[in-house]
Amino acid sequence: CLTGSPVTLTILQNWVPRVSHYFDKEHYTYVGHQIVIQESIEHFGAVVWPGALALSQYLESNQEQFNLKDKKVLEIGAGTGLLSIVACILGAHVTATDLPEVLENLSYNISRNTQNLNMHKPEVKKLVWGEGLNEDFPVSTYHYDFILATDVVYHHGALDPLLATMVHFCKPGTVLLWANKFRFSTDYEFLEKFCNIFNTAILAEFPESNVKLLKATIRKN
């Protein structure tokens, strides 16, 4: 169901040797900026997964193809916020969303890494997949140029609400960029449903990490 001929890439070791003595902070460098990410061991959403590294790297290397400057960008399942921070550095108006219990760490990382930058101030909002979409993000006022999602598909029970959330935000003209580690049969079942709804092209594969990077747009009815 996928079109396109993907480039084969390796996730680069973009993190720099630890300079802090705290075990819970990771240092990355993207787009010429050092980014310090505080991870938390309590939540899935609070560690940096390979999909976020893959998509951050891809956006950094393909700024002409995907120019985020002054674009409205929504990240769903933002986790630690690394990708949202990279999108912000690339000049986007970013809204980073995740579950309520992840927001404190997410907000901390985003504000810490963007406060002194001369760019659009990112926003952090609660988003529970499939819940309150029309109330919290009415289509009449919320239109995004790009939806970013990384490692949102794994062994969890919210796959149908996730798909509904992607459909809600992906309007004509919106580009959805989704990077994911594919491990389980359920991941591929989700991909099949996804391809039935979206025009889906594969941009890149990171074989060492089992990550695929997909670009999707909504089908015209």
Quick check: is 54 in a domain? Answer: no
Instruction: Provide the 3-class DSSP secondary structure of residue 112.
Output: helix
CA-closest candidate to residue 154, choices 187, 129, 179: 187
Q: In terms of pLDDT, which residue wins out, 184 or 15?
A: 184
The CATH number for 163's domain is 3.40.50.150
Quick check: is 34 in a domain? Answer: no
Q: Which residues contact 189 (CB under 8 A, 6 or more apart)?
A: none
Looking at residues 196-201, what average pLDDT do you find?
Answer: 96
Q: What is the pLDDT of residues 81-114, one digit of tens each?
A: 999 999 999 999 999 999 999 999 999 999 999 9
Quick check: is 80 in a domain? Answer: yes
Q: How far apart are CA 199 and CA 177, in angstroms?
A: 12
Quick check: is 39 in a domain? Answer: no
| Residue 141 CA to its chain's centroid (Å) | 22
Instruction: Provide the 3-class DSSP secondary structure of residue 148.
Output: strand
How many structural domains are present in the chain?
1
Q: Do 194 and 167 meet the contact criterion of CB atoms below 8 Å apart? A: no
Lowest mean pLDDT among 63-72, 153-162, 189-198: 153-162
Q: Do 172 and 184 meet the contact criterion of CB atoms below 8 Å apart? A: no
**Sign of dihedral through CA atoms 55, 48, 191, 145?**
negative
Quick check: is 104 in a domain? Answer: yes
CA dist 34 to 18, 29, 53, Å?
12, 4, 14
Quick check: is 45 in a domain? Answer: no
Quick check: is 43 in a domain? Answer: no
User: Percentage of residues in the chain with pLDDT exceeding 70?
Assistant: 91
Burial of 210 (0-12, 13-18, 19+ CB in 10 A): middle
Q: What is the pLDDT of residues 113-163, one digit of tens each?
A: 999 888 899 999 999 999 999 999 998 899 999 999 999 998 778 999 999
Q: Which two tokens stand for residue 214?
A: 């997909």
Q: In terms of pLDDT, which residue wins out, 6 or 123?
A: 123
Quick check: is 60 in a domain? Answer: no
Residue type, 127: L
Residue 27, pLDDT > 90, answer: no
Residue 98: domain span: 7-11+65-218
